[in-house]
C-alpha cells in the first residue's frame, strides 16, 4: 500500500511539474500584469528605479539643458600669422558685457575700407562677397546709406572731413596703418592715403589716456564697435555686442585694460555693430551697412 501511495504521489508531482512548465513557457508570449497590491520592496527587486519612472510618476522636475558657461577670459588665441582673437567678460553692474576683439599685425595682413554708396550689406555679407578674413562695420552714414565723415576706399574719397574732435583710421599706399586723434595728427588732403575712415569720439587719446570723460556722456548704453592701435603698432578691432556699455564706461575700460592701447576710436554702434570672421567669431550687424573695415590676405 505504501508503494502504491508513493507512486500515486510521484505521478501527481510529475503532472504538476508539466503544468507549471507549460505555464512558464507561455510567459514568452503573454504579458502577465503585476498585482496592484504587490509591495514596492518586491517591485524594487525586479526593476530599477529608472524603469519604474515615467513622466506621470516623476515628482522631481527635470532641468532644461544649459549651455556651457563662457570662459571669463580666453586669452589671445592665434588664428593665423598676424591675427589673434580674444573674448572676455567685462562687469557692468548688474550685467556682464562680453567683449570680442581681434588683434592684427599690419605687417602680415592688409587693411581695406569697403564702401558702396547708396547700398549696404550686413557685415557677414561683406565678408562673403570679398573673401575677407575679418569684417567690422565702419563709420556713420545717412538713411540714404551715404557716409558722413571722410572715407577713402581704394584711393577714392567720399564724405566730409570732421573737425579735430574726431579720429581717423588711415592706411597709406605703402601699407602704413595709423589710428589718430585729429587734434594731434590732422588730416592732410595731400597725404598719400589709400584707405581711411573718420569717426568719433576718440575713446583713448595718444599715450593711452582715457579720452571720453563722464561729463561728455549722456549715460546711454549701446552695442559698440571700436578700432584701436597698441604701442607696438598692432591694430585692434573690437565689439561689445550686448549693449551694456556707455561711451565713458568703454573709454575707461579700454584705457585701464591690459591691451596696451595707444589710441582707440569709436565707430558706428547700435544696430550697425558687427564683427564677422568666416573662421572665427561671428556677430552680425542688425542692419545693412554701406561701409566696413576688412582684413585681407596680402
Which DSSP symbol is given to 129? Answer: H
Secondary structure (DSSP) of 149-181: B-EEETTEEESB---TTSEEEEEETT--EEEEE
pLDDT exceeds 80 at position 25:
no
pLDDT exceeds 70 at position 9:
no
Q: How large is the C-alpha radius of gyration of the chain?
A: 35
Q: Which has more pLDDT, 71 or 9?
A: 71
d(CA 194, CA 178): 12
With residue 113 as reference, give the H or E element that holds it.
strand 110-115
d(CA 24, CA 101): 71
The chain-wide mean pLDDT, for the chain, equals 84
pLDDT digits (tens, 9 = 90+) for 121-158: 999 999 999 999 999 999 999 999 999 999 999 999 99
pLDDT of residue 67: 60
d(CA 254, CA 208): 9
Average pLDDT over residues 69-92: 97
Q: For the chain, give me the number of helices (H) and strands (E)?
A: 5, 18
Secondary structure (DSSP) of 194-253: EEEEEES-EEEETTTEE-S-GGG-----EEEEEEEEETTS-EEEEEEEEEEE-HHHHHHH
Lowest-pLDDT choice from 1-10, 36-45, 106-115, 240-249: 36-45
Average pLDDT over residues 17-45: 34
pLDDT digits (tens, 9 = 90+) for 27-36: 333 333 333 3
pTM (predicted TM-score): 0.78
pLDDT exceeds 50 at position 55:
no
d(CA 151, CA 188): 13
pLDDT of residue 11: 46
| Percent of residues, the chain, with pLDDT higher than 70 | 77
Q: How confident is the model at residue 68 (pLDDT cuts 50, 70, 90)?
A: low
pLDDT exceeds 50 at position 182:
yes
SS3 3: helix
**Using CA of residue 277, residue 153, residue 163, residue 172, what is the dihedral sign?**
positive
pLDDT of residue 69: 81
pLDDT exceeds 90 at position 42:
no
pLDDT of residue 289: 98
Average pLDDT over residues 283-290: 98
* Phi, psi of 244, deg, nearest 5: -100, -10
Q: Which has more pLDDT, 84 or 36?
A: 84
Among 113, 173, 102, 115, which Cα is nearest to 141's? Answer: 115
| Percent of residues, the chain, with pLDDT higher than 90 | 76
SS3 143: coil
Is 269 within 8 Å of 224 (Cβ atoms)? yes
Average pLDDT over residues 186-191: 96
Amino acid at each position: 500500500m505504501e508503494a502504491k501511495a508513493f507512486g500515486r504521489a510521484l505521478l501527481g508531482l510529475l503532472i504538476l511539474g508539466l503544468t507549471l512548465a507549460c505555464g512558464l513557457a507561455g510567459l514568452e508570449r503573454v504579458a502577465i500584469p503585476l498585482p496592484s497590491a504587490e509591495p514596492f520592496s518586491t517591485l524594487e527587486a525586479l526593476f530599477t528605479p529608472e524603469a519604474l519612472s515615467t513622466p506621470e510618476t516623476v515628482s522631481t522636475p527635470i532641468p532644461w539643458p544649459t549651455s556651457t558657461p563662457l570662459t571669463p577670459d580666453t586669452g589671445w588665441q592665434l588664428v593665423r600669422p598676424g591675427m589673434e582673437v580674444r573674448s572676455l567678460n567685462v562687469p557692468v553692474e548688474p550685467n556682464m558685457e562680453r567683449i570680442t576683439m581681434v588683434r592684427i599685425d599690419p605687417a602680415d595682413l592688409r587693411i581695406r575700407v569697403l564702401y558702396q554708396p547708396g547700398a549696404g550689406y550686413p557685415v557677414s555679407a561683406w565678408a562673403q562677397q570679398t573673401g575677407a578674413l575679418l569684417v567690422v562695420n565702419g563709420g556713420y552714414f545717412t538713411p540714404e546709406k551715404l557716409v558722413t565723415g571722410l572715407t577713402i576706399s581704394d584711393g577714392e574719397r567720399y564724405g566730409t572731413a570732421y573737425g579735430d574732435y574726431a579720429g581717423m583710421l588711415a592706411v597709406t599706399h605703402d601699407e602704413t596703418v595709423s589710428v589718430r586723434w585729429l587734434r594731434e595728427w590732422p588730416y592732410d588732403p595731400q597725404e598719400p592715403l589709400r584707405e581711411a575712415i573718420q569717426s568719433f569720439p576718440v575713446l583713448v587719446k595718444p599715450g593711452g589716456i582715457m579720452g571720453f570723460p563722464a561729463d561728455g556722456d549722456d549715460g546711454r548704453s549701446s552695442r559698440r564697435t571700436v578700432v584701436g592701435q597698441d604701442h607696438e603698432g598692432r591694430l585692434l578691432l573690437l565689439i561689445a555686442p550686448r549693449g551694456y556699455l556707455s561711451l565713458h564706461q568703454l573709454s575707461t575700460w579700454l584705457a585701464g585694460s591690459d591691451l596696451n592701447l595707444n589710441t582707440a576710436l569709436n565707430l558706428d554702434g547700435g544696430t550697425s555693430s558687427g564683427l564677422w570672421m568666416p573662421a572665427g567669431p561671428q556677430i552680425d550687424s542688425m542692419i545693412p551697412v554701406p561701409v566696413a573695415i576688412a582684413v585681407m590676405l596680402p
